Chain A
Amino acid sequence: DAGITQSPRHKVTETGTPVTLRCHQTENHRYMYWYRQDPGHGLRLIHYSYGVKDTDKGEVSDGYSVSRSKTEDFLLTLESATSSQTSVYFCAISDQVGQPQHFGDGTRLSIL
């Protein structure tokens, strides 16, 4: 497997609390991505990064923010979690445009 570690792997929290998910890579890849996966939907892009401090919004970015202060770490923050953000979150990395993305094993987040 590509060197991608997501933490935590599981989290249960309450509505209105802040939540931060971490993605750590050891591949020194330029691009990093956050997706959510929900039943009946394909993976949907939340935010992505094309370099340190360079990020952009994806298809479903409302309610989420990201930061990338180092090449190896990409953080996803839910400032005030809502039940609609209950999902499985995947981080992915890629080396360059036109190359496959490689995924971590996900974080299962439940917001009660």
Chain B
Amino acid sequence: GESVGLHLPTLSVQEGDNSIINCAYSNSASDYFIWYKQESGKGPQFIIDIRSNMDKRQGQRVTVLLNKTVKHLSLQIAATQPGDSAVYFCAEEVAHGNQFYFGTGTSLTVIP
């Protein structure tokens, strides 16, 4: 089956620095992607999404970049804060019925 993977399982950054979390996807036909944040003991929380007709989308302190040529997705978090510490994972919509494949996640730790 098709799957979404992440380049790094863990990432540590200093408070105030920018964070970049990467994701590779395998289905060139996928046209919708989502980033989620998951804190310990909680369910995944939607952060930002992007469709394949865009290569960049910005939210509040977050930016998602999509490179369809190399099938790569990244999440940039500006001025990372301690509250950003969590597991982040990407998801790609792959089938009818709004089905997604999810990556295994990158654990982000923010050092005060």
* B-binding residues in A (CB < 8 A): 4, 31, 40-45, 48, 50, 56, 58-59, 90, 94, 96-106
Determine the residue in chain A with the shortest Cβ distance to B34: A100
Docked CA distance A90–B45 (Å): 12
Docked CA distance A97–B36 (Å): 18
B102 adjacent to A42 (CB under 8 Å): yes
Partner of B99, one of A40, A48, A104: A48
Find chain B residues with CB under 8 A from A56 CB.
97
B98 adjacent to A94 (CB under 8 Å): yes
Docked CA distance A19–B74 (Å): 39
Given A42-B4, A104-B43, A106-B42: A99 and B104 within 8 A (CB)?
no
A31 adjacent to B98 (CB under 8 Å): yes
Determine the residue in chain B with the shortest Cβ distance to A95: B98
B97 adjacent to A50 (CB under 8 Å): yes
